[in-house]
A and B are shown apart, each in its own frame.
Chain A
Amino acid sequence: MLRGVGTVFEREVGQYFASPAAYLIAFALLLLTGLMFNSDLTFSVTQKAADPALIPSFLSFAMVFFAPLLTMRMLAEESREGTLELLLTAPVSDTAVVLGKFLSAWFYYSLLLLITLIYQVILAAITQPDLGHAICAYIGIWLYGGATLAVGLLFSSLTENQIVAAFLSMSALLLLWLSDLAGEIIANLDLARLIRQLSLQGHYTTSFAVGIVRAEDVAFYAGIMAVMLFITVRIVESHRWR
Chain B
Amino acid sequence: MIEVHDLTKRYGSHLAVDAISFEAHPGEVVGLLGPNGAGKTTTMRILTGFMPPTGGTARIAGYDVMADSLEVRRRVGYLPERVPVYPDMTVSGYITFWAKLRGVTRPRAQVDTVLERVNLTDRRNTLIRNLSKGLRQRLGLAQALVHNPEVVILDEPTIGIDPQQVIEVRESVRELGKNHTVLFSTHILSEAEQVCDRVVIINKGRIIAQGTPQTLRAQLQPGVALYVEIGGLGKEAAARLLREIPGIESVERQGDGFAVRAGGDVRPALSDAVLHTGCRLLELRPVAMTLEDIFLDLVGREN
Contact = CB atoms under 8 A, between A and B. Distances in A.
B264 interface: no
A42 interface: no
A48 interface: no
B50 A88 contact: yes
Interface string A1-24: 001100110110011001100000
A240 B101 contact: no
B101 A8 contact: yes
B148 to A, nearest CB: 13
Nearest to B71: A91
A91 B73 CA distance: 5
Contacts of A87: 101
Given A82-B84, A83-B84, A91 B103 contact: yes
Interface string B69-106: 01101101010101011111100010001101111000
A91 B143 CA distance: 14
A10 B102 CA distance: 14
A54 to B, nearest CB: 36
Contact of B93 (A8, A14, A90): A14
Contact of A85 (B80, B93, B97, B100): B80
Contacts of B103: 3, 91
Contacts of A3: 100-101, 103
A23 to B, nearest CB: 13
Given A14-B93, A241-B51, A90 B88 contact: no
Contact of A4 (B93, B101, B143): B101
B135 to A, nearest CB: 17
A240 B88 contact: no
A122 interface: no
B57 interface: no
B52 to A, nearest CB: 7
Contacts of B45: 85
B48 interface: yes
A67 to B, nearest CB: 21
A92 interface: yes
Interface in A60-97: 81-93
Interface string A186-223: 00000000000000000000000000000000000000
Interface residues of B, number: 28
Contacts of B70: 91, 93
B49 interface: yes
A89 B49 contact: yes
A19 B129 CA distance: 13
Contacts of B49: 89
Nearest to B80: A85
Given A82-B84, A85-B84, A91 B74 contact: yes
A55 to B, nearest CB: 31
A84 B84 CA distance: 8
A233 B101 CA distance: 18
Interface in B146-164: none
Nearest to A3: B103
Contacts of B71: 91
A90 B93 CA distance: 17
B133 to A, nearest CB: 15
A83 B78 contact: no
B97 A11 contact: yes
B46 to A, nearest CB: 10
Interface of A: 3-4, 7-8, 10-11, 14-15, 18-19, 81-93, 240-241
Given A7-B101, A92-B101, 12 more contacts: A8-B101, A14-B93, A15-B88, A18-B88, A81-B84, A81-B85, A82-B80, A82-B82, A87-B101, A90-B101, A91-B70, A241-B52
Nearest first, the 10 A-B pairs at minimum CB distance are A82-B84, A83-B84, A91-B73, A89-B48, A91-B74, A7-B100, A7-B101, A240-B51, A90-B101, A91-B70
Interface of B: 45, 48-52, 70-71, 73-74, 76, 78, 80, 82, 84-89, 93, 97-98, 100-103, 143
15 contacts: A3-B100, A3-B101, A7-B100, A7-B101, A8-B101, A85-B80, A85-B84, A89-B76, A90-B73, A91-B71, A91-B73, A91-B103, A92-B101, A93-B70, A240-B50
